[in-house]
Structure 1
């Protein structure tokens, strides 16, 4: 029995740390890391990917005693790298969520709240609609395969036990502001159109207060918002792909910097 354990220990050691990085990335990644995906499915996918990538990662895993403090530090290191990579991919999905919130607040749909099984919270109908659209686009562009490719490339850029450097964390942290800028860029047409309608009804109500035009203001703002949403929603997939490409470019720059370092 001891001989069998000694033969399995190197295999399990070579499998454990890639599994930790892949599981952390899948947990933080969009769609695959949502609450609608069971934890058992996520763990099974991470285990399968770790086994598939064994020829890629076997030579990159150094001799580490699995029952030492070094092994614990290496496990935390892999979890941090995977979590940061998954968080970077989550930026594109977060932009769609912020866009839905901005649009709903301007159109008056923020009062129509529904339970969101994806995030386990309540969200408005516009955000739910845009989230479903972004999930469809995610699988249309083979986002799950892109994530698997990034995982494999990350083992060459940040091998086990050699750290991850501060550049990766800084690049992801600095790009948080990009979420709000990209969401606001998409929401500007709806925000501007609803503001124009509100100003117009304000002037008309000032000129003829007896007509009580504010009673029509809510329905007109909703109507204009829906028209602008129809015009904008067809550009959302293109912007989502562009944002995903930007995330990939950022990760490639970090991997090249880690490789040269």
Structure 2
């Protein structure tokens, strides 16, 4: 009869479950996979499959009792590290969402909203368009593979039980301002063009006061805004590459212990 000691069971549990908490936390928070479009059970199965591949190649895990206080502290640390990595990706995606919201407000489409199936909230149509666009670009350029590569490297650069990196969390909090700045840069040419259009309408109103600017200004601004969005799509790829490179580089820096 096979007999297993508490130390052996605890070692097996820690060697598999501790990495799984980090992987599962990342998959629950990151865009695309962590949205409501992917069922919770599928995400858990996906995390289990990744751990089956990663665990044999990982450095030794700390040996702790599975039901002790140090084990729960390690679990909390791993969950926090996974959430931190996933939140970095959320910041990158939200930059494009904010860009769409700003552009929709400027061109008069702020009232045209739809339910975002991934987050379950109402967003502007232009914002939803930018969300789908950045999702397709992220998958087409293998951004998800880069994320999984950084996740695998994090177990070497940031081993389980190495402690919380408070400085890195402050850096992550400082990145919140980067989201609004990146979104504003994305739509700055379009906003400038719409500003010129609005100034032109103001000049027309002063030149011809009898002209009903509200009856022609709103639909014309809307049409010109759609034309400006169409023209600005020619440069969206280069802008995406700049912000994606910066976001993934910051993700890699967050996964380093020093």
2:112 matches 1:112: yes
The TM-score with structure 2 as length reference comes to: 0.93
- Which structure 2 residues correspond to residues 24-173 of structure 1 after superposition, within 5 A? 24-57=25-58, 59-173=59-173
SS at the partner of 2:242?
Answer: helix
Match of 1:176 in 2: 176
Query: Structure 1 residue 251: deviation in Å?
Result: 3.4
CA distance in structure 2 between the aligned counterparts of 1:122 and 1:168, rounded to whole angstroms: 32
Query: Structure 1 residue 11: deviation in Å?
Result: 2.5
Compared CA separation, residues 218 and 32, structure 1 to 2 (3 A) = same
Compared CA separation, residues 61 and 194, structure 1 to 2 (3 A) = same
Query: What are the ranges of 5 or more consecutive residues in structure 1 without an aligned counterpart?
Result: none
Query: Structure 1 residue 56: deviation in Å?
Result: 2.4
CA offset digits 1:39-82 (Å, max 9, x no partner): 1111111111111101222x331111111000000000000111
- Indicate if the aligned counterparts of 1:201 and 1:214 stay in contact, CA closer than 8 A: no
CA offset digits 1:195-229 (Å, max 9, x no partner): 22112112211221112233211111112211110
CA distance in structure 2 between the aligned counterparts of 1:2 and 1:229, rounded to whole angstroms: 68
Query: Structure 1 residue 155: deviation in Å?
Result: 0.7
Compared CA separation, residues 2 and 173, structure 1 to 2 (3 A) = farther
CA distance in structure 2 between the aligned counterparts of 1:237 and 1:93, rounded to whole angstroms: 14
CA distance in structure 2 between the aligned counterparts of 1:10 and 1:60, rounded to whole angstroms: 10
SS at the partner of 2:110?
Answer: helix
CA distance in structure 2 between the aligned counterparts of 1:88 and 1:71, rounded to whole angstroms: 26
Q: How many residue pairs align between the two structures?
A: 257
CA distance in structure 1 between the aligned counterparts of 2:255 and 2:135, rounded to whole angstroms: 27
CA distance in structure 2 between the aligned counterparts of 1:99 and 1:65, rounded to whole angstroms: 48
CA distance in structure 2 between the aligned counterparts of 1:100 and 1:199, rounded to whole angstroms: 22
- Indicate if the aligned counterparts of 1:56 and 1:152 stay in contact, CA closer than 8 A: no
CA distance in structure 2 between the aligned counterparts of 1:15 and 1:175, rounded to whole angstroms: 32
Compared CA separation, residues 171 and 2, structure 1 to 2 (3 A) = farther
Query: Structure 1 residue 141: deviation in Å?
Result: 1.1
Compared CA separation, residues 173 and 136, structure 1 to 2 (3 A) = same
Query: Structure 1 residue 8: deviation in Å?
Result: 5.2
Query: Structure 1 residue 116: deviation in Å?
Result: 1.5
Query: Structure 1 residue 5: deviation in Å?
Result: 7.8
Match of 1:243 in 2: 243
- Indicate if the aligned counterparts of 2:92 and 2:179 stay in contact, CA closer than 8 A: yes
Query: What are the ranges of 5 or more consecutive residues in structure 2 without an aligned counterpart?
Result: none
CA distance in structure 1 between the aligned counterparts of 2:65 and 2:10, rounded to whole angstroms: 10
CA distance in structure 1 between the aligned counterparts of 2:112 and 2:253, rounded to whole angstroms: 42
What's the C-alpha RMSD, in Å, of the aligned pairs? 1.8
